[in-house]
Amino acid sequence: MQLPEKSYGRIELAVRKIIRMGHPTLRKVARPLSDSEILSDEIARLVSDMTDTLHDYGGIGLAAPQVNESVRLALIEIPSEGSRYGDLESLSLTVFVNPTVSILDSPCAGFWEGCLSVPGLRGWVERPQCVRVDYKDLELGEHSQEFSGFQATVIQHEFDHLDGVLYVDRIADMKQLLFEEEFERLAKLGNTVD
Ligand code: ZN
């Protein structure tokens, strides 16, 4: 027996499976969305499902290719507290459609990155720390916004997914790729670099 959907509203989370490194979709260049697609029910549903998925997995960013949809769309939400990334700049849930990133003149800095598509690992990646992002929102509004620090790192990590690039490709020293348990053990001993 099924409950009548209507009278209960939206009672189920729609968590999609996150594909992992090795799945070919993660290595494809995703295609841009047309304006009519951005306004479509399918994309509204995809964004809603991706939001549920991001929250269920406890991530801070999710790109559409990670749920096996090869389109240029990503969500980022950096909580202010209780994050495993500590006290880093928060960002309320933002949907980026067809984003392009411009690196502004800025030195690189590194963070221990992780990825829901590469579970259980952490790697040290250095990236430019000041970027400008041009993107559309779900109402076709155009935005041009600057991001710095950890936000800039998260943005570049997520948008790399739209080009078939994973953070492990950007680790300069492969000795800095660790299992998360080992990373946490070292962090407790105060031996991690950052
Ligand atoms: Zn990722």
Q: In angstroms, what is the span from residue 12 Cα to ligand 1's centroid? A: 25
Q: In angstroms, what is the span from residue 117 Cα to ligand 1's centroid? A: 6
Sequence-distant (6+) residues with CB within 8 A of 94 are 75, 76, 77
Q: In angstroms, what is the span from residue 11 Cα to ligand 1's centroid? A: 28
Q: In angstroms, what is the span from residue 2 Cα to ligand 1's centroid? A: 36
What pLDDT sits at residue 117?
98
How far apart (Å, rounded) are the C-alpha atoms in residues 165 and 158?
9
User: Which contiguous run of DSSP H or E holds residue 168?
Assistant: none
Amino acid at 162: L
Which residue numbers are catalytic?
Answer: 158
- Confidence grade of residue 188 (pLDDT, cut at 50, 70, 90): confident
CB atoms within 10 A of CB 18: 20
**Predicted TM-score (pTM) of this structure:** 0.89
How far apart (Å, rounded) are the C-alpha atoms in residues 90 and 100?
21
pLDDT tens digits for range 84-115: 555 568 999 999 999 999 999 778 899 999 99
Tell me which DSSP letter residue 12 carries: S
